[in-house]
Structure 1
Amino acid sequence: MNPVNPKHINTLIEDVYELLCSPNEHIDEEHLDTSVKAALDNIGKVFIKTIKREESLPSDREIGKYWASDLGTDCFRKLWYKFNIPDEAETLLPHTLNKFMFGSLIEESVLMLAILAGHRVEGLQEVHELNIGDDITVRGRTDAIIDGYIVDVKSCSSFAFKKYTKEKAIKKEDDNFGYRMQLGFYLAANKTPGVSRDKGYFLLQDKTLGHLSLVEPEYGDDIKPDAIRQRALDIHKAVSSKTPPPRLYRDVPEGKSGNKKLGVACSYCDFKHVCWPGLRTFIGYKGPVYLTEVKRVPRMVEVTNTNGEESEAASEAA
């Protein structure tokens, strides 16, 4: 860090690139500051969580206690399943767990580079909580506070990286994972002196090519504090119901076959087989296809196990 000449977050990417291209003989492992050591500790925790399955096994969720990631979930039916029948979720397969762990390791390494590049990195995995009222709370962990701004670090595909970087923002219509809502929560819940409550950033890394980019969310009324609170109340009402809410998404035509299949969002859902009874899974050259209605049996291998093994078969077929 450089307290005499503090850096601004706007130069973060170029500073990290310069760090990577310079000899940096002055950097000594024995003199790494406490923030770097904290980041290294977090990398160790990533391995431990993965090996112990601390976050990948179905868990009982207490209604009224919500996570920031819940706010970013558009499908309240999925949330109802998570809170009411968590054991019905599909089992995560080894390669999926490894993929998630790899993404977390990328994110931690990016934060270490930011520190070594001379930027002020604080609040690693700091817990923020927002009390909504009536025993309703939302909690979440920020990845970091960099140069006075809350930063959410994301590893993403080359396609998503190019899109977000070109737009210089994650826009509402492109936000398939609820990133904007989560960052809006962190801004609303933030009580740290000297940290902006109006502006936050996404620090993106292309997990294939290694490019870095710093973008903001598309700001709007839907991620302001009042909207965050209302979102939590709406979720609470939905998951407290005795029956699941209606499906958010409809099935879509599968080419000209007359068959119908799940769309992208439903295809990735851990509860798709619960939500769509009688769902049939076929493995094509592009991966699994989930058919809700079969008028003509496709020329693909059908998988009858509904506990996630179709993903394994898809990997082998690719």
Structure 2
Amino acid sequence: MSNLPTRRLGALTVSAQGLGCMGMSHGFGPSDDEQSIGTIHRALDLGVTLLDTSDFYGSGHNEELIGRALAAPGRREQAVLATKFGFANKLGEPVEIRGDAAYVRQACEASLRRLGVDHIDLYYLHRVDRDVPIEETVGAMAELVKEGKVRHLGLSEAGADTLRKACATHPIAALQSEFSLWTRDLEAEILPVCRELGIGLVPFSPLGRGFLTGAYKSTEQFQEGDLRRSQPRFTDGNLERNLAIVARLEELAAQKGVTAGQLALAWVQHQGDDVVPIPGTRRQKYLEENLKAATLELSADDLAAIDAAAPAGEVAGDRYDAGSMKFVNG
């Protein structure tokens, strides 16, 4: 078994690094279910407890996939299972966010069926419904806690005011939002509010959608159906500027005998004991590489050098297209 340390998200104890499962069904081109299940099992064997999915990933396929992985004997007990709701549309349809009480219950029941479990350990609102008071959404989620269908509550891409209102309704264990060396907009206001309220941070895309690993030098490397083909940071002009940041990280990583991805991920791990990144991968090789970052020691000098190599605000381009940016930090 692993020596993977644990951290706390509110009242919930999880491994210091989780596994983001989205890419096993959604967003990064074709994938192989058996390979993905093997990776989930390997993660659990190595001490990863937090598995992250959503009813939106693969229009339900990802939850079914994780359900299959956890149906193997002894596996459900090893996992802290996190899923999300809020996108009422299917993939490829116009975005519809729903946080009304009736939908909260409907979505949860559907997720429990797909996952094949009797409770969800951490249930997130995937994006904030700006037409429904957050108190209504979280109030309905709190009812699910009372009924034993859900253990802990989370929000994703929520702003500081929303977090305060939500916490006044029911304790919030975690905020899941994008956070990495190239997405640091949480630092000014949202992260301090999380700490004030005792909310843990679960960064998704802690490797900048794989870009900070240094594996991608051109959009031609992305397969058909890969979301990154259309994201501003990967488009011409921006890509070249962002590659310069990665080159500096690669230089620092080489000095420490690690990969650029491990260095970037270790930087996230060093942002506090209440920070639990969920890098996503379908392959055991990258899972094992990522997990080494959870115990990689960085000195104050190392952290300063990384900050200098990848300064906040230097990244070129937004993280999503204009339509999707409307739904972040809501």
The TM-score, its normalising length taken from structure 2, stands at: 0.24
For the pair shown, the structure with the greater C-alpha radius of gyration is 1
The TM-score, its normalising length taken from structure 1, stands at: 0.25
Using CA pairs below 8 Å that are at least 6 residues apart, which structure has the higher relative contact order?
Answer: 2
Between structures 1 and 2, the one with greater strand share: 1
